[in-house]
Structures are given as C-alpha cells and as structure tokens.
Amino acid sequence: MKLGIFAVLVIMGVELFSKMASAGTLFVSNERDNTVTVLDSLTFKPLKIIPVGRRPRGIVISPDYREVLVCVGDDDRIDVIDTMTLQVTRQLDSGPDPETLGLSSSGKTVYVANENDSMVTMLDRATGKQLGRIPVGIEPEGIAVNKDESAAVVVSESTSMAHFFDPKSKKVTANVLVDNRPRIAIFSADETSLWVSSEVGGTVSVITVATHQVEHKIGFEVVGLRKEFIQPMGIRFSLDGKYAFVALGRANRIAVINTATYQVERYLLVGQRVWQLILSADGKKLYAVNGLTNDVSVIDVPSLKVERSVSVGRLPWGVALKP
C-alpha cells in the first residue's frame, strides 16, 4: 500500500524529532591545548572551542545543565562555563592542583581532589565559599558522592586506597585498600557497591558499601597485549545496569563487563589511551575520550559497535554531556 505525502512527512517528522530528542552537547577538556571543545552529539560538528586555564582535566556538568565546571590544575582553580553562552563566566578557588571534582545531586556542593596536598576541598558552588577541607591519601583523584550526600569517596593514587568520608562531619570513615594507582570511583545505580579502577594494578575492585569490603576483583586479558598496557581508567554503567564499561587506557579498548557475573564479555577497540567515558541521556550512545589520538570514539550501546571517531583538541582528558 502506498503512503500519501502527508503520511510520509509525518513519518519523516517523527524520525527527525527522535534524532533531535537524543541530541546533546559534549564538552571535552583538552589538557595540552588549555581548551574545552564543544561538540553537537548528533552531528559531531564543533560548536565552539573555549579557552580555559592551564591543564584542564576533570570536568562535570551541574544537575540543571546550566554550568560546566572544569579543573584547571596548573592555575589552582575551577573555571565555570555557562552552557548557553559557551563562555567562562567565573572561577572558583579550588585549592592546589585540582585534578578531578564531583558534585552533590543538588548541585550545591563541589568536591575537589587536590592532588598536590592530599586533600579534598568542599566548596559552595554558588558563592565559591570554602565549606571544609578533608585530609586523605597521597595524590587524590577520582571522587564519587552518593545521592543523599550521606557518603562520598575519593581514591588516592599513591596510597592505593578508596577513602570513604562523611560530608557532614568532614571525617574519613573508612580506608579500603585496592590495587596500585586507583583512578576512578563510581557508585552502582543502587549505591550498594562502589567500583574502583586501578591503572597500574590493572583491575577493577568492587567494594560493598555497607561493609567497606572488596567483594570482587575484575582482571582483564587482551590477546597480544602485555599486562602493563592494560590500564583501567573511566567507568560507566549502562542505563539498565546490566553492563559496566571500563576504559583500559593504553590497551586502546573498552571492556564490557556483565555486572551480574563480573565477567568481561567483550572488548571494543577505540582510540589510543582511552581515558574517560560518558553515556548519552537515553543510554544508546557511549562516548570515549582518547588522549593520544586526540579524538572521541562513539559507541552504539545496543549493538556494542564502535561507529566513528571525532577529532577534538590535543591530549583530551575528560568529558561532560548536556542532554
């Protein structure tokens, strides 16, 4: 049966709307260029290259999607980008050498890992006022904060620990030993477990939050690669919670882990030194930042296929997404 012109136009309109609904804006921090590249996540056309401070790395977006916060480590501050004007509108005094940061679910509190002085700095996002400083292990990096802000975690590279701390009392409540050089910590969707990647150890530790015990340790094997090239970094979960995606650094691959069995089901070949990951709002796309090929790999999640790569700046480090 032939469709009328009106019906065809309706179908085309629905398809276009569907594509537009899944579009978003990617913000990629480029450590060597001192910039943030802004990309349309549907067309992958560059919207703007934003100059920021020296050595931008950790990057997050506020829950209301109005601001992107970027750690600029060599300037000891956080640059704040307005997502409408795509301009840096203000700076926050972060303390020495901020590498990564986290936000409370309300977006009111900023948690900063100060690598050089082994501290976590808490800031009021609106005013920049310092709310407290928490001593942790040597070279703190990845930060995770649970939804009700009753617990937070920072991992320390040189101490090889995940430090649980109470944001209210500003006290460390537990120190959990993981493998060498932990980089990223992320709570599972139900917040019963914490996943920690260890770059030099080559593993991901799964910690039960209630007991602070490492219950599972996930290793990786890639045919033809020496163990020392397998360097777990960024972690993201699929929206349905069935998979964990782990960037494997200089292995140039993303591991796809079954969260029920803790087994690696597949390795996806991406760019060189894959570092950080972000998932689209609809869960259909995974974006991977590749530091040595200066690009972003785009992965189709339902098919687990790498679709394309998109050039950004030099030495891209982190990524945030505005839906």
Give the pLDDT of residue 36. 98
Q: How far apart are the C-alpha atoms of 224 and 75, rounded to whole Å?
A: 41
Give the pLDDT of residue 5. 52
The model's pLDDT over 44-63, given as tens digits with 9 standing for 90+, comes to: 999 999 999 999 999 999 99
315 falls within a domain: no
212 falls within a domain: yes
The model's pLDDT over 285-306, given as tens digits with 9 standing for 90+, comes to: 999 999 999 999 999 999 999 9
Per DSSP, the three-state class of 109 is: strand
310 falls within a domain: no
168 falls within a domain: yes
The model's pLDDT over 206-225, given as tens digits with 9 standing for 90+, comes to: 999 999 999 999 999 999 99
300 falls within a domain: no
Q: Share the mean pLDDT of the chain.
A: 94
User: In CATH, what number is assigned to the domain containing residue 255?
Assistant: 2.130.10.10
Strands 87-93 and 77-82: antiparallel
Ranges of residues in the chain with a pLDDT under 50 are 1-3, 6-21
**Number of domains observed in the structure of the chain:** 1
First to last CA, the chain: 38
303 falls within a domain: no
- 8 A C-beta contact, residue 156 and residue 141: yes
40 falls within a domain: yes
Give the pLDDT of residue 163. 98
Task: Note the pTM of the prediction, 2 decimals.
Answer: 0.92
Give the pLDDT of residue 4. 54
- The parent domain of residue 67 ranges over 32-264
23 falls within a domain: no
